[in-house]
Amino acid sequence: MCLSIPSKVVKIDKEANMATVDTMGVQRDASLDLMQEEEIKIGDYVLLHIGFIMNKIDEEDALLSLETYREIIEAMNEEDRQMAILEDDECQNRGE
């Protein structure tokens, strides 16, 4: 099962239609190709799936979700923590 952790947009490259997002301290690039109807700005919180920004979410909801993720991650060992944060990059839509 894939879970999307809220990520904050920290940079936008309009020419490449890409954004750099921060997911709990890990930065990665994500495509904006699926967000043609909704404008994404620096500081917005978004959800990603396999390298694409799928939708923008409310900041308050994002912060509440991030707090829950932090509580879960604190209970993990360091290797499991990094895997939980990074696994979204490898998550494929498997109909789950």
Q: Is residue 53 part of a domain?
A: yes
Q: 33-47 pLDDT, tens per residue?
A: 999 778 999 999 999
**Alpha-carbon distance 22 to 43, whole Å?**
10
66 strand-pairing partners:
none
**Alpha-carbon distance 85 to 22, whole Å?**
11
Q: When comparing pLDDT for 29 and 78, which is higher?
A: 29
Q: Is residue 1 part of a domain?
A: no
Angle (CA) 94-17-1 rounded to 5° is 15
Q: Which domain holds residue 66?
A: 7-89
Number of structural domains in the chain: 1
Using pLDDT thresholds of 50, 70 and 90, give the confidence band for residue 3. Answer: low
Element (H, E) at 20: strand 18-23
CATH number at residue 70: 2.30.30.140
**Alpha-carbon distance 63 to 38, whole Å?**
21
Q: Report pTM.
A: 0.76
